[in-house]
Amino acid sequence: MRLLPLFFATLLCVATPVGLSAGVNGGKEGTPEYNARAQWLRDEKVGVFIHWNPSATIGKEISWCRTNPTYGNIGAEKYDALYKDFKGEAFNADEWITLFRESGIKYAVFVPKHHDGFAMFATKTYDYNVMKSPFGRDYIKEVSEACRKGDVRFCLYYSVLDWWNPLYSPKQGADLSGYIDKVFKPQMKELLSNYGPVGSIWFDGHWDASWTHAYAKDMEKFIRKIQPKTLLGNRLDQKFAGNEGPNCSWTGSFFDAKDAIDDYQAREVDLGKYFTDRAWDSCYSLCGVNNKWSWVPPMNPVPLADIVNWLVQCIGRDGGMLLGVGPRGDGSIDPASAARMLELGAWLKVYGEAVYKTRGGPWLPSSWCVSTRRGNKAYVFVTKWKGTDIQLPALSMGVTSARLVGGGAATVTKAPGSISIHVDAALRKPIATIIELTLERDCMSQPVLEVPEPTNLAKGILPSVSSFWPGRDAELSPKYITDGSTGSLWATEEAAREGWVSIDLGKDQTITDVMLSDAPYKRTQQFAVEAKVGDVWKPLVSGTTIGDELHLSFEPVRARIFRVNIQKASDTPTLAEFQLFGVPSQTTPARR
């Protein structure tokens, strides 16, 4: 078996909180108490995020279409009257929960009030609520009861701001005491007193200048008295001041204060960094990331591979995934969305042992793999193969056995400071190949290790090309093919519909994998990757499309010159990246 050399691995200790959290008992909650309270979120990993209210009757984005031109701007008066036609005639909470459970979902987050102020529960604070609609039923009561019967954890979303209620103001320095005393607190009391245990509250709408840390702490204290175990999302607190926080974007970052509300991070379409100090999840829309949280047809679910990749990348960073689903106006879930959710459930039935009740590590995420762990088991999720074997830094304990989750063999070879894992090409999975490693002892206290990135042997080498676009050589230069970025590209002369790119490595190298990209135009219709062996171009791999990032493996070949031959294109051929991997002369450490 060929072993790829590993030259170093950096040992990184994960910090754990040693101070006091802003949790229950007036901030006196210590780390063990917090960990016990947050354990369910860390264990369950897969949630669903349901946005359903009268906006679904017109198929436009919840709240945002009220006055925002980007989302259709139907006008406040028309939007605020949508509830008069809200019938929800096909809504069945038990059917929803059955679908969620069969989809591998462990917790569900429902929206009782979004930014539009409409209450989807039987509130006594005002009449602008679901009980005054033709639907006339307490939606939150029905879903909470269905969750308890169906063994899905019941959680809530709540918007701090309110575009409908005149008691609320976004202006800096505004007095929000009336809104808090007559709306926010009474509704929190209703939601936390009338519908049973609430696992977490995913707060939102904390970005207005009027909302302060002091208001947030007052609300936190109020909520703790009712349900002290409920996890409160970071967005109850004042908005983080920067664009990027220490772990993720501002939406998921805790307010910069020692007593910040920090039960969990509510990340939004943002993986962020590996982070273990607090529980977290990141939400993604089943129908893509373009703000389709509610029913906005056409609703075309993303491929299963995208959903699994979101999940895998989240759990490898020690978080979870919250999958956004928008039911139709009649209360039914779109059949295509339901079918995709069930595909996720089928995948989790096979591979869930590597997902549920695990923590991220013992290796940090890299461009080609992530890992999870539980007890003396470590699970390696290989999402991109860059070489015939994968190589990881050695742990402080040895590996006693290896297997593929879902069936199949994997072999482990030890080397000084590293382990090499081999999986036959026929057993590799198209979405993620998951290898279970049984270790000599428990690995939960193992500090995480940084994984060196495989070396792109073509990076920075100026390629030869069949032609280039005269007069546009600065923006469409051949140098962009090997710059390591898919954000720049080369193009042939305008009239061409075929072309080639060759890379001279300077000496013979053994190559096993290639990465190609023809983003963003994706015009390639037929291509081949070839190596010049002697005086003959030897075919290595071929295909019909390339796309954003295409990784291809082939039998090891030793050569100096490699070529991508674009044999057919729908328009002027372009290429953004041509990367070569094999037996590198050095390894590059991953960036944390």
* Domain termination site, one of 316, 350, 384: 350
In the numeric block, which tokens belong to residue 366?
Answer: 């890299």
Is the residue at 394 inside a domain?
A: no
Cα separation of 108 and 101, whole Å? 10
What is the model's pLDDT at position 302?
94
Q: Which domain holds residue 529?
A: 464-589
Last residue of a domain, one of 350, 377, 408: 350
Cβ neighbours of 555 (radius 10 Å): 9
Whether residue 256 is contained in a domain is answered as no
Give the pLDDT of residue 291: 60
Q: Residue 319 belongs to a domain with what CATH number? A: 3.20.20.80
Q: Which of 305, 332, 350 is the last residue of a domain?
A: 350
Q: Is residue 229 part of a domain?
A: no
pLDDT band for position 11 (cuts 50, 70, 90): very low
CB 374 within 8 A of CB 359: yes
Q: Is the peptide bond before 452 cis (omega within 30 degrees of 0)?
A: no
The amino acid at 335: P
CA geometry: angle 569, 570, 571, nearest 5 deg:
90
CATH for 544: 2.60.120.260
The mean pLDDT value of the chain amounts to: 92
pLDDT (mean) for 21-26: 43
Query: 585 pLDDT band (50/70/90 cuts)?
Result: very low
**Interval 278-301 mean pLDDT:** 89
Give the residue from 228, 125, 220 showing the smallest Cα distance to 182.
125
Q: Give residue 586's pLDDT band: very low, low, confident or very high (50, 70, 90).
A: very low
Whether 343 shows a pLDDT value over 50: the answer reads yes
Q: Which residue has the higher pLDDT, 436 or 384?
A: 436
Is 50 contained in some domain? yes
Looking at the structure, do residues 346 and 469 belong to the same domain, yes or no? no
Residue 267's DSSP bridge partners are 282
* Selection from 252, 220, 259 nearest residue 319 by Cα: 252
For the four alpha carbons of 426, 429, 430 and 434, in that order, the dihedral sign comes to: negative
Q: Residue 553: which pLDDT band, with cuts at 50, 70 and 90? A: confident
Query: Is 237 inside any structural domain?
Result: no
Q: Does residue 9 register a pLDDT over 90?
A: no
Res. 587 pLDDT band, cuts 50 70 90? very low
Helix (H) or strand (E) holding 149: helix 139-150
CA distance 394 to 417: 5
Question: What is the structure's pLDDT at 4?
Answer: 31
Q: What is the mean pLDDT of residues 203-223?
A: 98
Domain membership flag for residue 493: yes
Asked if residue 529 lies in contact with residue 541, where contact means CB atoms within 8 angstroms, the answer is yes
Q: Confidence band (pLDDT; 50, 70, 90) for 252?
A: confident
Does the residue 370 lie in any domain?
A: no
Instruction: Report the C-alpha dihedral over residues 453, 455, 458, 459, rounded to 10 degrees.
Output: 50
Residues 476 and 345 in one domain: no
Encode burial over 208-220: b for 16+ CB neighbours within 10 A, e otherwise. bebbbbebbbebb
* Res 555 pLDDT > 90: no
pLDDT in tens, 351-364: 999 999 999 999 99
Average pLDDT of span 195-214 = 98
Number of structural domains (the chain) is: 2
- Measure the CA–CA gap between 138 and 190, rounded to whole angstroms: 12
Q: What is the mean pLDDT of residues 332-352?
A: 98
pLDDT at residue number 3:
28
Looking at residue 181, its pLDDT comes to 98
The letter for the amino acid at 529 is V
Q: Is residue 451 in a domain?
A: no
Q: CA–CA separation, 12 vs 228, rounded Å?
A: 34
For residue 1, pLDDT over 70 is answered with no
pLDDT digits (tens, 9 = 90+) for 44-100: 999 999 999 999 999 999 999 999 999 999 999 999 999 999 999 999 999 999 999
- High-pLDDT (> 70) share of the chain, %: 93
Taking 70 as the threshold, does the pLDDT of residue 13 lie above it? no
> Quick one: 25 exposed, middle or buried, by C-beta within 10 A (0-12, 13-18, 19+)?
exposed
CA distances from 10 to 154, 470, 589 (A): 41, 47, 8
Query: Distance of CA 537 to CAs 400, 439, 540, Å?
Result: 44, 45, 9
Question: Mean of the pLDDT values across residues 366-375?
Answer: 95
**Residue 196: both structure tokens together:** 């049973």
471 and 345 assigned to the same domain: no
pLDDT of residue 365: 96
User: What's the average model confidence in pLDDT over 353-379?
Assistant: 97
Tokens representing residue 12 in the block: 């990184």
Is the model's pLDDT at 541 over the cut of 90? yes
Query: For the segment 159-180, what is each residue's pLDDT rounded down to a tens digit?
Result: 999 999 999 999 999 999 999 9
